[in-house]
Amino acid sequence: MHTILGEDNAARRAPGETFSRSVRGHRDDYFFAGMSLVVFATVLMGFAHTYFLAGVFHAPLPSAIVHIHGALFSAWILLLPTQVALVSVGRVSWHKRLGIFGAVLACLMVVFGVLVTIDSTRRRFAPPGLDCATFLANDLMEMLVFALLVGWGLRVRRDGDAHKRLIVLATVALLSAAVSRWHFYFPAILRFPFLVGLIVDAFLVSLALFDLFTRPRIHRATLWGSLMVLLIFPVAFGFLGHAPFWHRFTEWVQR
């Protein structure tokens, strides 16, 4: 029945409509392939000195748990362009099978991301310009938003337009750690930490502009997903970073 109805609808579809859908599909392929490669380059540039060029597992990281965390997040960054490429070349079945691995990987990333954040807080580590309480708030907020967006993306995986936007946005939510390490190339980031947020926001703006140029309005997944990513910085830096109860919680973690 579904096949018959599908053929009937296809027969009634105007040639121009079919063409426009095809054009949109190609535009999506190019854009999301480009976006995934820019994300990959962002992470590669951020962690080149301290991780990738330092030998990955031979890099002088503070603990084994940080090594596991680095391996998991690196696998995710490699998985993103791979999954985009599989859909672009029509290997949707491979994309779905690899997606099972991606779902498990995302769960492990959340677990180890939280563990590494707690470990760093106990070691009283904080990036330049941040105190431990703000660092803890920012990293936990990033993991929360990542988990929510990936969960939403998996729930709507049959809706390709929403699914790919949510997975990309979930990845963008994690980029501040990589961008903050661009100070090796752009020392101004150390003097003006807000630049990290602006660079991350550029990914959100790019996705919103792409939606506006290729469809009547911004996709709801782009709109709500971007809002969740945008809330990370004001909640972590503006609210939790200055809240007395959060500083007491940070001190409790450090014991």
Indicate whether 4 belongs to any domain: no
In the chain, the amino acid numbered 82 is: T
3-class secondary structure, 40: helix
Nearest to 117 by CA among 76, 168, 174: 174
Interatomic CA distance for residues 40 and 42, integer angstroms: 5
Whether 107 is covered by a domain: the verdict is yes
Q: How far apart are CA 175 and CA 196, in angstroms?
A: 9
Output the CA angle 95-227-218, nearest 5 degrees. Answer: 70
Note whether residue 139 is domain-resident: yes
| pLDDT by position in tens, the chain (length 255) | 333 333 333 334 444 433 344 666 678 889 999 999 999 999 998 888 777 766 566 667 767 888 898 889 999 999 999 999 999 888 999 999 999 999 999 999 999 999 999 999 998 887 777 789 999 999 999 999 999 999 999 999 999 999 999 999 999 999 988 898 887 777 777 667 778 888 999 999 999 999 999 988 999 999 999 999 999 999 998 899 899 999 999 999 998
Query: Which pLDDT does position 19 carry in this prediction?
Result: 38
Residue 21 in any domain: the answer is: no
In a domain, 12, yes or no: no
- Asked if residue 18 belongs to a domain, the reply is no
Residue-number span of the structural domain to which 196 is assigned? 28-253
Residue where the block lists tokens 């590494």? 116
Note the pLDDT of residue 10.
39
Number of folded domains in the chain?
1
Which residues contact residue 117 at a Cβ distance below 8 angstroms, ignoring those fewer than 6 apart?
136, 139, 140, 143
Note the helical H segments in the chain.
2-12, 15-47, 64-88, 92-122, 132-155, 160-172, 176-180, 188-191, 194-214, 220-230, 232-233, 244-253
DSSP letters spanning 100-114: HHHHHHHHHHHHHHH
User: Whose CA is closest to 70, among 52, 85, 53?
Assistant: 52
Q: Does residue 7 belong to any structural domain of this protein? A: no
User: What pLDDT score was predicted for residue 55?
Assistant: 59
What is the DSSP code string of 118-169? HHHHHTT---TT--HHHHHHHHHHHHHHHHHHHHHHHHTTTSHHHHHHHHHH
Tell me if 166 sits within 8 A of 221, measured CB to CB. Answer: yes
Task: Determine whether 114 is exposed, middle or buried from the number of CB atoms within 10 Å of its CB (0-12, 13-18, 19+).
Answer: middle
> Is residue 239 within 8 Å of residue 219, measured between CB atoms?
no
